[in-house]
Structure 1
């Protein structure tokens, strides 16, 4: 990048930064921490949804593998063990959010703050 292009980029970005002054201004460290905590909550909800959807998908793959084994038991790619493994892995992925909540209570006691992942997030 030559100096002329760098100057052009710098001059065009200054008005954009002037229109968004709140991006770099935080009142204090507490505000930054609360913003990060809110983002952590959203990340936890995203992980919960991904685990549920992926777990259902993996369990369905296991059921289809079981059906393929039933249709052709001599096919080495359709083993019963792989079907059962996929079903159990899918069930474990669906159960991960609930296990995480009870695991935190077990390790840190009943006074620990635990997120209820037994329901889908409402978007609030």
Structure 2
């Protein structure tokens, strides 16, 4: 019976904002269509509901966080020497031999020269 003879509320009324807030949270921030459907099912008719609900959703903090754009990191400006044409590895070095570990061995006959061993398996 509520849907057949709904209560008509102007969209600029404070009660309209309260209804939109209540039913928007009741439908778990699902959007304008479900919020509008929940309000109409409850027996209310908002004049200009589309604009009223859309403006409320635009201000909803949870909806803005859920439906926000993905942030992209901005790259810093390159140094001037990196923008000039130069042979490879002129300004950038690559360590392809590292890390070395020097091991002192103990033998029966006394000391022996240190042995270089590779840690990374290269």
TM-score normalised by L of structure 1: 0.23
Q: Kindly name which structure, 1 or 2, has the bigger radius of gyration based on alpha carbons.
A: 2
State the structure with bigger RCO (CA 8 A, min sep 6), 1 or 2: 1
Higher helix fraction (1 or 2): 1
TM-score normalised by L of structure 2: 0.23
